[in-house]
Structure formats: structure tokens, C-alpha cells
Amino acid sequence: MKLAFTEMGTGRPMVILHGLFGSSDNWTTLGKRIAETHQVFLVDQRNHGKSPHSDAFSYDLLAEDLQHFMEEQEITKATIVGHSMGGKTAMRFAQLFPERVEKLVVVDMGIRKYKSHHDDVFRALHAIDLSALESRKDADEQASALIPDFGTRQFLLKNLYRKEKDQFAWRINFPVLEAKMDEILAAADEVEVQLPTLFIRGTRSDYIQDEDKTAIRKIFPRAQFADLQTGHWVHAEDPDGFYKTLMEFVTAS
């Protein structure tokens, strides 16, 4: 699968992977900052952003997509950064293709199985009548009853675009994502990865608990951990702290 992406900067390559329901656009501001010293690739994973839709969806496939992308871009080795679902992709990529990874950065995602908490999101996405929309504001009003939080609605509605003058469409293939939620939330494969790895967690998020660290180190023996005072969207809530933490790890010998 040929993935959509944005490239910026020069230097050592860094590939950044967004999370569930996200896209490469979520990383543009930070990407520009990182691109002052690195060649940055912001990638849309399958069924997200401007990348193709597919009924097939698994972390093996996402990792293989990334491998093909790096081959196409002639990237021999890169630092791989992944947030949330993108962190799971990054971990699986490091397991399958360790020779292509210089350093691994996983943002607010652990290795254990998670319970689904996206039911309201999917109900809202199904409830929005695209044929009746005249503006993004209409979609926001339709979704507000199921998703009261304005920030969450705006994040999701970034996926809405005008396919034609009078027709909206979704960039995310949410029916497939909904069908594959058990797989998306499944525990990571237990394949040891001997690579420098940094797990950055938000202290107001519950994706990585203190008791998870022992299990994480069994798969990633060289894992380091860093905390930022944020929720799950670590890089958006504390961009300065995230940038500092990321670059200290990436540039360390």
C-alpha cells in the first residue's frame, strides 16, 4: 500500500506515526520544529488521513506498510516515533524489522490489552448524516449529544472533508476500524526488541501504569520512561516538554 505522507527538513531521518482517528496533520507543528535538525516524515497509516482505505487491518500489515514506505523513500534506518495506535505500529515494526530502526519512541501506549472506550465515538460517527451536512458546524451539532467534549469532537471532525462541492466524506475508514477494535486494542506480540526505546507517558492518562513497566522491559529490555503532566495527547498538550524529552533521547549517544 502506498501511504500518503509529508516530508520536511534534512538530516537523520525520523518517521512519525499518528494514533487512532488521527492523521499526519496532527503532527505538523511539532514536525516543523523537529525538521530544524532532522529529515521528518509524517505518515498517514492505512484507513487514516489521505492514505488508501482497506478492509484488511492489522499491526503486521501496518508494519509492512511502513517497511514498503521506507523502501520507496530509500530510508535505510530511521528513528520511529508512534503515538497511541501508532505506538503499537512502531513496536511491531521494531519487532519485524529491527535493522531499520535507529531508536524507538512510543508515546502513551503500553503493551497490554486495553478495553474499548470508543463506543460513543463510533455511535457519533454513524449518527452524522453526511448527505444533510452543509458545514462542519452541522456535524459538530449532530455529534455533540454523544460527545460532549468540544476538543474531542474537533479532533474527530478534522477527518471530515468536502469530497465534492455539496458532498462531505470521511478520511477515516471508521467501519473497518470499528470492526477491528479487538485487534487494535490487543496486547503486543511478545518478541524481544534490543533497541534503545523511550516510552513517553502522560501522567493524567492510564495507558501506561507504573505496574506495566516490568512487563514492558521484558519485551524492550533497553526501555527508558519519561513522564509529562498531560493526558493521552501528550505532544499536543505539552509540545515544549515533548520536544525537549524527544530530542534529548534522540540525540543522546
**Cβ atoms within 10 Å, residue 171:** 21
**Cβ atoms within 10 Å, residue 165:** 5
Question: Of the residues 18, 83, 232, 235, which is catalytic?
Answer: 232
CA triple 189-191-196, angle to 5 deg: 110
Handedness of CA 190, 207, 124, 235 (dihedral sign): negative
Cell numbers that stand for 124 in this block: 457519533
CA distances, 213 to each of 19, 149, 179, 201, 221 (Å)? 21, 31, 30, 11, 10
Question: Of the residues 84, 118, 131, 253, which is catalytic?
Answer: 84
Handedness of CA 225, 230, 233, 236 (dihedral sign): negative
3-class secondary structure for 56-91? CCCHHHHHHHHHHHHHHCCCCCEEEEEECHHHHHHH
- The verdict on whether 117 is a catalytic residue reads no
**Of 194, 174, 187, 162, nearest to 47 (Cα)?**
174
- The verdict on whether 38 is a catalytic residue reads no
Residue with cell 520507496: 72
- CA 142/CA 161 separation, integer angstroms: 16
CA dihedral 19, 21, 25, 27 (to 10 degrees): -20
Active site residues: 84, 232
